[in-house]
Amino acid sequence: MILMRVGALKESLTNETGRLVSIYHLSEGLGKKFHDTVREILDEYTIITLRYYTEYDRGRESINKLYNNLATMELKSDVDKTKADSFLYVLGEFQPIRERIEYLTSSRVEWSLKYTTYILGGMLILLLFLNRGDPFTNLLFVLLSTIIVFIFLIIEDYDDLKIGDYKANISNSEQIFDLIEKDRYYPEEILSRVELERGKKYRIGILDEKDGKEKIFDILYNPEFKSKVKFLVDKLKIRKV
């Protein structure tokens, strides 16, 4: 069940990225003002959905801005009108994909199913423990207990979207940032999951504990990068008296 959900989520994320790429390219022929607006909206949307991955509904407002700015399209020829029709068609395809991702990232394994699994696993470990005695059963107890605990951890990580799919979201977000020629953005919490290039500038999002809002800093990746990030994180922490 969890693996099926993760598979569906990866597929939806891929489809979403494909539609965003199409939206960006189609906007290029609809006037500079409209294209620049689309570029900024896609940047905003990608930042929000990367930061608040399990709260995908936060990205709705950004997509609404696309609809609100349709009037700024420049349609000077029949070719432009055809491009506009294609843009609207892709935008229409994008909406149900985004809604599906919102559902998949917000849903969780039913607690009854999860805890039933935990209880059965715990009982199995207990039975193995009580039947220890010779070296073989002792080894069997250690191996099976380790496997069961490992399975529990995997279930929790998949349910909390910490495995696989988040990596896909990071990769897709990088693709969008590169496409729209914006510095890559990463929440500070996921820096350990990404590979950074020396000499390249990144936008790093750090939550300000005072107001709960994110502040984004442009930081060059060099030997002082980690110390700069740590300094900013400490600076935005609430000081305990």
pLDDT of 10 above 90: no
Can you list the alpha helix ranges (DSSP code H) found in 131-191?
135-159, 165-179
Task: Give the pLDDT mean for 197-201.
Answer: 94
Cα 132 from Cα 134, distance rounded (Å): 6
Distances (CA, A) of 35 to 25, 32, 47, 166, 183: 9, 5, 18, 29, 18
Q: Is the pLDDT of residue 94 over 90?
A: yes
Token pair belonging to 160: 């909390």
- Express each pLDDT in 102-129 by its tens digit: 887 775 555 555 666 667 667 766 766 6
Query: Would you state the pLDDT for residue 8?
Result: 80
Over residues 46-65, mean pLDDT: 89
pLDDT at 109: 52
- Lookup: tokens for 215: 């502040």
Give me the pLDDT at residue 168, please: 74
pLDDT at 240 over 50: no
